[in-house]
Amino acid sequence: MAAMSKIATGNGHGEDSPYFDGWKAYETNPFHPIDIPHGVIQMGLAENQLCLDIVKKWLLKHPEASICTAKAGWGYGLNELTRSSWNSHQILNCVSCNNFKITNDALEAAYVKAQEAKLRMKGLLLTNPSNPLGTILDRETVKNIVKFINQRNIHLIGDKIYAATVFMEPEFVSISEIIAEDNVECNPDLIHIVYSLSKDMGFPGFRVGIVYSYNDAVVSCVRKMSSFGLVSSQTQHLIAPMLSDDDFVDNFIAESRELLFRRHKYFTWSLSQVGEREMRLLPMATDLWWPGSLGFKSSVEDERRKAKRRVENHFGSLSLEGEGRRKGLGFSRVFATDLRRL
């Protein structure tokens, strides 16, 4: 099994104490009045489940009440990543000439550069679909990445926070699909997937994230850390049955993709009508970019601001804040101020 740090495997949390024995017993044998009448009854939560009908009636009478605290945006900031880690990071360079595809040469170059800097490469952090580029990795690329990390015995952390927003070719390919194929050799202990409801589901205020790992040691570590970032009982009570409803999830994804496609088509057409034919809206329908080598007379930054004013005069608003590091690339994030105008 792949080695993990002492910080991750330490037992300082006390999960092996008798206190947690009750939680483990409940998880494996929960009480049910009909199916499991002799199961374990959970009494460790301080929520009043006897008054949910009263709370529901109140919520129906007060639709203006909200528990959401949405944030304006989110991403892997390099500074934040460095501050929150005991180790350094190595950037994997991608270029626009091949639509920012992750190649074997780029993987090898980043690995060699890390070795030259005396860095011990422990894992590869991958966002697919990419944030902010919106590019989607094809099946062969994902296979190559899995092969690379397996050969180097490093962890692969796949962030699929925008997975359900993909509405055009190429289709989204999950790492889980790849490692399940018979012709793919991979140590599953190296594979970890993270997801959140904030983007494609549009639930940022609930602050609910998911970590799916094939590594039992990682799952145990995450369970310990969850005590410091608990999801409220109210949120769990709403989200769990909603996501367990297969009909709802299937319908939501289908409707979401259809609406995103329509807005993508209309927005790109509108850009061409105001003279911004070089701009390209990305598959996630929130980002747009154009190459920095279009022969601008002034600086790229000046051209971005001029384009921003032209586009905003017709619809929506543009945020000039970019994320990550790009050379020769103009980038803006699109926010519609009025749904009817988008």
Please write the tens of the pLDDT for every residue from 146-160: 898 899 898 888 888
Measured CA distances, 187 to 5, 124, 154, 192 (Å): 18, 15, 10, 11
316 closest CA partner among 285, 337, 286, 295: 337
Q: Which of 36-50, 56-70, 78-92, 169-183 has the highest mean pLDDT?
A: 169-183
Q: Tell whether the model's pLDDT for residue 1 goes beyond 80.
A: no
Mean pLDDT across the chain: 67
For the chain, the structural domain boundaries read 6-61, 78-244, 247-341
Is the pLDDT confidence value at 102 over 60? yes
Question: What is the predicted pLDDT for the residue at 192?
Answer: 92
Mean predicted confidence (pLDDT) in 66-91: 42
Q: How far is CA 171 from the centre of its chain?
A: 16
CB burial string 8-36: b at 16+ within 10 A, e below: eeeeebebeeeeeeeeeebeeeeeeeeee
Q: Which fold has domain 78-244?
A: Aspartate Aminotransferase; domain 2 (3.40.640)
Q: Average the pLDDT over 174-184 and give the result.
A: 84
Residue 288 scores a pLDDT above 60: no
pLDDT for res 183: 82
